[in-house]
Structure formats: C-alpha cells, structure tokens
Chain A
Amino acid sequence: VGRNWRTAGLAAGALLGLGGIPPVVGQAPELVRISGFVRSAANGEVIRYAQIAIVGSPARAESNQDGFYVLAVPVGRTSVVVRAVGFEPLRVDFSLTQSESRDFALIPRPIELAELSVEGKPDSSDIDPGSTEMSVARLDVRTIKLVPVVLGELDPIRSLTLLPGVSAISDFSTGFSVRGGGADQNLILLDESTIYNPSHVFGFFSVFNGDAVDDVKLYKGAIPARFGGRLSSVLDIRQREGNSREFEGSATLGLLASRLALEGPLPGVRGSYLVAGRRTYADVFLKLSSDPDLNRNVAYFYDLNAKGNVRLGATGTVMVSGYFGRDRFKVRDRFAAGWGNAAGTIRWNQAFGNRLFSKVALTVSDYDYGLEFLGIGRDLAWTSQIGSVDLAVQETYHIANGSLIEFGAQATRHHVRPGSIRPVGDSPVNPIDLEPRQGIAPAIHASHEVELGSRLSLRYGLRLAGYRRTGPATVYRYQDGMPIVYRPSLGRYERGVVVDTTRYRDGETVASFTSLEPRVSVRLGLTAGSSVKASFARTRQFLHLVSNTNSPTPVDIWEPIGPYLEPQLSDQVAVGYVRTWSGGRYELSIEGYYKRLTKVTDFIDGADIALNDRLETEMLQGTGRAYGVEIYGRKSEGRLTGWVSYTVSRSERQFAGVGGGDPGINGGKAYRSPYDKTHNLTVVGLHPVGGRWSVGGTFTLSSGLPATYPTSRYRYDGVLAVEYGERNGARLPAYHRLDLTFTRTGKRSQWQLGLFNLYNRFNAQSIAFEPSEDNPLALEAIQTSIFGIVPSISYSIRF
C-alpha cells in the first residue's frame, strides 16, 4: 500500500512537470536493481525493445528505444533471459548483493532464411500481450530487406503500407495514410529530428536509405505522451549506430541507385560511426547521350546519412546524427527544380543510480525547395523553406518492476519562409518575399505505466502543449470578420474584403493556443498469451500542410496556426485483442478504432494557393471521422514466414462552410476522404527455395481509391469542361498486385532479383476526362496506371 501511495505521489509530481524526484527510500529490502544496455554481440549496436525476464518470476523489463533497461531483481542468485527479435535468447546467471550496471550482449541469428531452424526459442513478437502498448506497427529491417520493393530500392515507408491500418495514397507517392488520416498528419522522425517532406523524385521514393535505417516504429494510436504535434501517427525511425567492434562496409549496385555504407569503431574513444550514401545515376546516362535534347536534362537525387556515438562511462552516450538529401531536376533550359531535407541531432543519454534514464536532445530540421522557370520572357526563381529547432528533455524513472514514470519537456521553434521570387537574368520580374511565419511550440508531458496485479496494467499520461505564433507579422481584418464570403447568387466563395491590417512586432504574440491531451491505455491479460487492450488518445496539430492535392508534393508549404486557422484535433478510441501461440511463433491481433477529427482543413473550389499571403481566404475548416477494424496474423518461425493483414475501414470529411447558408464542400454533406479504402488486404510470405536462395512475395488487394466523376459536359470558349457529381462519390476499380523478390545470400554478397507487379496489372491511379484525339468534341475516360511489370536487379557486397 505504501509503495502505491508513493507511486501516485511521484506520478503527480511528474505530471506537474517537476524535474527533481526525491529518492525513494524503504524499498522492499530483498530487491536490488540491475540496469544497462542490451547490445548486439556482433557489432555492439544497442538492441531496442529487448525483453529481460527473471526466470521463474513474472517480473520483466523491456529495453527502451535507446536499448536501456532497468530491472529489479532479488538479492542473491538470479537467472534472467534476454530476448530480442533476430537474436538468440541469452540466459545469464549471477549473484547480486547490491544494485549494479550490467549490459547484455546478444548473438544475432543467421540472416540466411534457409538456415532458419524450426526449433529454437521463438522471437519475442511484435504484438506483445504483456504490454499496454497497442496500435503500433514495427518493421524489422532484416525482414523488409527480403520483401519486394519498387526498382530494388528498399523503402521503409512503402513497406509500412503492408501493415494493417496503413495505406498508400498512390503507387507514385510515399505519402501514406494512417487510419484514414492525411499524409500531412504523420510526424516523421529520423533520430528524433523532424523530416518535413520524406520524398525523392516527386514522391516516388522516400528519403530513408535502407542501409542506414535500424528500427522503424509507427504509432497509429495510443500515441505516448512524449509525442505530439501531428494528428494521425508518429513514425519513429532510428538510424543504425554502426559497428563498434570492427570496421565493415557494404556496397550495393542497383538499377536506379548505388549505395555505400561504412561503419566501425571510432578511434581513441569507445564508440562507433556509420556513414551511408546513396545516389541515383539516370543523369549520367542522360549526359552520355549525343542527343542534345536529352543530355541537357538533369534528374538525380542523393542522400547522405551519418551517425556517431561516443560512450561516456558505463551508462552514458553522446550521439550525433545527421541526414542530408537533395533532388535535382532540370528539363532543358526551361525548368529546374531542387529540394531536400537536412536534419541533425545531438543527444546525450545518461543513466543515473540504476533507475533514472535521462535524455537531452537538440535537433534541427530544414526543408527547402527551389524552382526556376526559364525561357519565358519573365524568368524567375522561386524558393521556399521551413526550418525548426527543437530541444527536448526526457526522463524515465524506474519505480519498481512494472512501474515506470516517463516525463519531460520540449520546445520547438518553427520558421517558415512560404515563398520568395527573384528575377533570373534579364527579367522584368520583381522580387517578392511572402512574409515569414514563426512560432514556438512548448510542451510538457508525463505518463505512468504500471502493472496492477498480474492481469491488469495501465498507462496514463498527459501532454500539455501550446503554440504561440509570433511576429513580425501582418494580420488582415476582414469585413464582418469573414475572410471567406459566400455569394449565393453565383454559388461560389469569394475572398473577404480587407478592412484593416495589424502589424505585430518581432516576438509579439499573433495567436496562441493551449492543448491538454490525455493519453490512456489499459491491458487486461486473459491468459499467458492473450490479452485485451483499450486506449484513448487526443492529439493536436499546430502546423497545417498547405496542399491542394491528395498527396503531398515537394512544393507544399507548412502554415502554422494563426488568427484564422485553428489547430486540428483528433480523439481516438481503440480496442484490441492480441494472442500469441506456440511461444510466439504465431501471432494474431485484432483492433478496432474510432477517430473523431475537428478543424481539419480543405480548400474551396478553385483555390489559388501558390504564393498566397492570405490563405485564410481560400481555406475551410471542417470535421472528419474514421473508423475501422484491423486484423493481423503473423507466423515468425519455420520455413514459411510472413503475415496477413486485413483492414476494413471508412474515412470521411465534412465541411459545413462558414455559416450563413453556404454549402461548404460537397453541399455540406460528409464525403469519403481521398484515402478511404473499404477493404485492404496484404499477404506477405518469405520462403527458402534451396541453395542460398529465398523468395519473398507480397500480394495486395484493396478497394479502389475514391474518385469524383462528372455528370454532364459543356463547352466554353473552345474548351470542353464537365460538371461533377458528388465529391469522391465513386471509386476507381479495385487494386491488386503481386510482387516477388528472389534473394541469394552469400557469405559476403547478396543478389536480389525483383519482379514488381508480376502479372502486369494496370491498376488505376486516376480516371480523368479528356477530349478524344480523334474527335475533340467527344470526351473519353482515360485511366492512368503508373507501373506495369517492373523488373529489378541489385548486387550487394559486404566487406
């Protein structure tokens, strides 16, 4: 009883944002604590989410996202078993008289699938019935390397869409929708630093290089209190630390790009580094062409990932991580585009007194793009940029086995340069700079995860987040306070009439908002291998992506909340059932969710958002809802491994308008969001085929994306146009596709042959209505598909 009381006191202290926690005295005397890192014996890299269990006791702990664990164990002789996905379980016997630091080194299982043994201890599974965590999708990078990919380029974001509740918006785009949310509602973190636009080649590939990525974890719901700022999901991607034992490297030659990764111990200190690079080379071939029309074109992208770790004493680490990537694209001397992300993180981890794990991280992120329009008599260069700096402190305090407190504080500063225009050469273009936007987002959070008896566990937390949009800024006041007015006689929205402008000085508050976000998860164990879970999470988003397309493009900009733009809000309830059999060899998870969204944004018909300083005159805010059921079954041992994922869901938006009898969007009626897929089935299988070969296959079958079809046509000034029916009232034909990858894994080399879209299905990405080539007075429905069958080949060598 006494311990519970202290626990509550600590939780309250943490919730109040108190950093100093009094030492807990009078702990049950027979217990001491061990703490430390779980690492790979092969290269010294930390292992995240490893399970550490005391043999013959329900007590256990999990290593955190930095590989650190704390476990209370009885004084005297103890045995613990450490398990992690992809590693042999490790049993350690020891005798303790007092708390101490203790690292565990696990031996990796052989990568070769063919050698996978049916016996042996199974991995700890993704869907842990013993944890309150739910609505989480994790990608095992070793698995996804064997799953088919487009053009041989491993892409964690595309691989995520094979999991339940995550759907691709298009074959073309890395934009993804989580549980019916928009692509801009996903917080994408690379080593804790925000990636604002994860796209290469207009969205064809993501910026994440498979060689550098270690862990990919997607929170679809029950988002922990330490995360905030986006509505639908958090995609937490960690880069590999590099081998701290010996130098090694890998090189991959692919059809599209080549990659090189080098890693090894840092000289003079205890630590490691990893440097990985990737570049496409289509442009090299373009340059070789003697056709002046081709060799003046440019199209390439590159990535550079770097990470270094230095260990401080037994329990501290300083990590420096960076990403830099860039796309360049040029068509003759007419048009050029370039964009890219830069992100950096400096982080200090330190464990104190075998029970407090402390983390301080400073991150910077930057995304910018530039366009050049040339040879048009008024040549211009157009640039835009978003940057942010974020400082976060996060503490995890071990109260007892099964009782952890996590708390912290965070502050982010955003700076958005929405657009600048400059003349190029001898051009009459006048320089224009849209007013920059800036804001500060502070947040504090605390949560407590506690086991109440052997069957019930609970995680409850709170995030208090704010946003302050600051000057210098110009705010327009509109007649009747209406930035958008509706003209019923013409059935259209028009810009409101500006009656006044207000100048805000540097640092002055333009608009501010405070958000209290409760996050609660509860687990009730049914049997040793099964449990039911439930969760509630509220999230708010203070940055809106200004994009009038279904999928983000490289030229989208972010707009912070302001006097006319309120933050988006989501309340999500989820319930689930998870079960594992045969010691984790088979897993099943069923989850249902319901989400209510408010203040989501969309644009009025015919909105002009390019270089628009008064976006409030083009935007509407409305509501949405999404609900569905996700079923996921996985077999992780044996010759055949893989999973089946099925989602049935619905996602809707509703924009009632600005008040005063206006129709909003779609006449004010709810309509399917552009990401709505009723059914989405994915089957993934991996199987050895003899020799050193294995085959990986994926099959996808889903409802077609919503589409808006016309109901009549007309002609104006020589142009054939159409009138549309209900927004997203129809659907494209069903989508299905089979992909195969054959992998030959040698000791130091790997061949991979891929066949994407094996049976050459022309899946509809869109259906548009265009005048026929034969008869300009007749419209045709033109279906566009992106991929036919796409073969790929790549060769990797490790050294």
Chain B
Amino acid sequence: MMRPFIFGLALLLTGCTRVVDLDLPDGAIRLVVDARIELDAAEQRVVLTTTDAVGSVGAPPPARGAVVLVTDDAGGSFPFVESAAAGVYLNPDLVAAVGRRYTLTIDYQGDRYQAVQALVTVPSIDSLYFEYEEAGIAQGDSGFRAVIDYTDPPNVKNFYLWELYVDGERRVAVDPGNRFRVISDDEFYDGGVVVGYQPFDEEVVDPGQTVRLRQVGLSEEGYRYYFTLYEQTTARGGPFATPPASVRGNVANLTRPEQRALGFFLASAVAERIAVVPAR
C-alpha cells in the first residue's frame, strides 16, 4: 500500500542513480528451499539451492544429494528424487488434497530441515481478458495488460498470489510499483466480486501471444512471507524504505536451529485461465 509514495519519489527524484562498487563480507552459506505441493499437479517439485556471495553472477548453486521426503497427515509418504537438473527433486505420485497437512523433511549435509503446511484452496478466476493501456508514469509501456475478474468467498480469509506465463514463459517482474499487486489479502473486500483487476499492470502482452494466468491460494503465513520478500527485494532504500531485514520462511533446521534455511514450503490449490491476446 506504500505504492503511492514510490510514485511520489519517482516523480520527485531529480537526482540520479548509479552503480557503485562495494566490498562486502561473505555470510554463512544457507540452504534455500523453493518447494510447493500443488493440487492437480502431474508432478510435485522441490528445488534446493544455497546462498552465495552477493557479487555472484548466474544461477545460485544447486543443493545436490539431499534426501527429500514429504509425508501427509493421512499416512502418505512420498520420497522426492533428484532429477537430471541438479537440485531439482521430483515426485510423480503425490496426489494432493485440500486441507491435508504436508510435512517436508530434507536431510542435507548433516542437517535435518522440516516444514509443515496445510493445502490452501483458492476460488476460480471468473474471466481473463485484455485491456489496452497508454504508457504512463510508473505504469510501463503502451500495450495490452492481462485483466481478471474473480469472486472472493465470503466469511473466510483468503490470500492470493498470481503468476503470469506468456507463451509458456514465466514472467517474474516484481518492482516497487507492482509488488503488492501480485499478492493480495481480502481484508478489504471479503466476499466481494473483483472486476477488472490487473495483477501485472506493467507487463505488456502482445496480440497473438498466449497468456496463462494462475491464481494461487496462500496461507496467511505464506502471504506474509511473500509480502516481506517483495517488500524487501523492492525496497530501494532511502528515507521511506522499511529497514532491511532477513525474510524468514517456514523451514526449520532441526539439527542446528541457528543455521536457518531460507525459502518457503507452500501447499496450494491453483486456478488458472488461458487466453490469446486479441488484435487491437
């Protein structure tokens, strides 16, 4: 909700930005967990990497050779096997269910990590369509934007995350302007019909492109994780930024609690719509 002030700053910053060189000390190397149990997924994925130096270039180093297991509260036990892609662990057998509690256990380099999450449902997207927008301040270039309508279920807390795929390619573009558009808390509109929402209002999609928009249900804990992650990664510093802080997820290190893991273990239902961008 601090978006307006970013606008204000953008308008008023008559000065400039430039890249500077800093000599930064290296911190402890931590395991980073990017794991999600998804309703209706053909295959479940857990991606493990580690942190590296701030000045590193390229993909972060994969965490290889981990033993990854997901169990549920119905007695199911699903080992994940490292795939050809290093650090990517897969399981094709896990058929998820709403409300079921999943426990992720990872054994990696002598430490045991664990995270628990119940699978969160999500309402469907009522419709996906496209609107043409002129270029504007903090609004990106002229062009089509993906627009959705959805209906929030009444009397229940809902938290949303949206994902945009254009011609099969994921677009992650979190910036100060849209950081709190790609996630949402129904606090203000519980039970409301939301019409004409642009979760990615700065992402231009072109006629003929196939757009897949996914609406992911988040737990309150998951929403808070994304909120902090986006707030921290888009804080451009300065007097109106929130103080820098580590983003704390839900993966505990049972062996050495102080050697925290980073990342989050999500369990979510996903609603999606696919549409082709029309000619103007």
Chain A residues proximal to chain B, CB less than 8 Å: 169-170, 172-173, 175, 201-204, 292-293, 297, 299, 329, 331-332, 334-335, 337, 371, 373, 375-378, 380, 382, 421, 426-430, 432, 488-492, 548-551, 553, 555, 605-608, 610-611, 674, 707-725, 727, 762, 764-770, 775, 777-788, 790
Contacts and interface: CB of A to CB of B under 8 A. Distances in A.
B247 interface: yes
Contact of A717 (B52, B138, B172): B172
Contact of B172 (A335, A426, A719): A719
B262 interface: yes
Name the residue among B135, B190, B236 with the largest chain A CB count within 10 angstroms. Answer: B236
A551 B238 CA distance: 9
A329 B20 CA distance: 33
The 8 closest A-B pairs by CB, nearest first: A428-B192, A766-B237, A711-B27, A551-B239, A718-B172, A605-B245, A377-B197, A606-B228
B242 A548 contact: yes
B189 interface: yes
A784 B15 contact: yes
Given A429-B188, A610-B2, A788-B16, 11 more contacts: A201-B8, A334-B136, A335-B3, A371-B4, A432-B187, A549-B241, A712-B30, A714-B263, A721-B262, A722-B54, A779-B54
A723 B27 contact: yes
Given A377-B197, A551-B239, A332 B233 contact: no
A489 B254 contact: yes
A507 B236 CA distance: 44
Interface of B: 1-5, 7-9, 11-22, 24-30, 32, 34, 49-60, 134-139, 149, 152, 170, 172, 174, 181, 187-198, 224, 227-233, 235-254, 257-258, 260, 262-264
A665 to B, nearest CB: 9
A607 B134 CA distance: 35
A660 to B, nearest CB: 14
A29 to B, nearest CB: 63
Contact of A767 (B12, B20, B188): B20
B18 A762 contact: yes
Contacts of A426: 195
A71 B3 CA distance: 59
Nearest to B263: A716
Nearest to A773: B19
14 contacts: A293-B136, A332-B139, A377-B197, A382-B1, A548-B243, A606-B245, A711-B24, A712-B27, A713-B53, A713-B60, A765-B15, A779-B55, A781-B20, A785-B15
Given A548-B243, A608-B224, A553 B5 contact: yes
B52 A713 contact: yes
Contacts of B235: 768
B257 A488 contact: yes
B interface, over-half SS: loop
Given A428-B189, A786-B13, A724 B244 contact: yes
A385 B91 CA distance: 54
A488 B253 CA distance: 10
A716 B229 contact: yes
B178 to A, nearest CB: 11
B1 A783 contact: no
Contact of A781 (B4, B21, B260): B21
Nearest to A335: B4
A653 B80 CA distance: 46
Contacts of A429: 188-189, 192
A720 B210 CA distance: 26
A713 B51 contact: yes
Contacts of A548: 242-243
A430 B189 contact: yes
Given A491-B257, A713-B53, A787-B15, A202 B192 contact: no
B193 A428 contact: yes
A652 B249 CA distance: 29
A714 B4 contact: no
A611 B24 contact: no
Contact of B248 (A335, A427, A492): A492
A202 to B, nearest CB: 5
Contacts of A778: 56-58
Contacts of A204: 12
Given A170-B238, A428-B152, A710-B24, A606 B189 contact: no
A702 to B, nearest CB: 16
A492 B264 CA distance: 13
A490 B248 contact: yes
B195 A377 contact: yes
B122 to A, nearest CB: 17
Contacts of A555: 2, 5
A714 B62 CA distance: 11
A377 B199 CA distance: 10
A332 B236 contact: no
A383 to B, nearest CB: 13
B57 A169 contact: no
A430 B188 CA distance: 6
A173 B9 CA distance: 11
B17 A783 contact: yes
Given A605-B248, A725-B27, A780 B19 contact: yes
Nearest to A720: B233
A713 B56 contact: yes
A490 B261 CA distance: 8
A765 B20 CA distance: 13
A788 B14 contact: yes
B135 to A, nearest CB: 7
Given A293-B135, A331-B7, A553 B15 contact: no
A723 B15 contact: no
B188 A490 contact: no
Given A335-B3, A785-B16, A490 B250 contact: yes
A712 B252 contact: no
Nearest to A727: B243
A790 B17 contact: no
Contact of B28 (A610, A712, A715, A724): A712
A380 B30 contact: no
B20 A719 contact: no
B247 A721 contact: yes
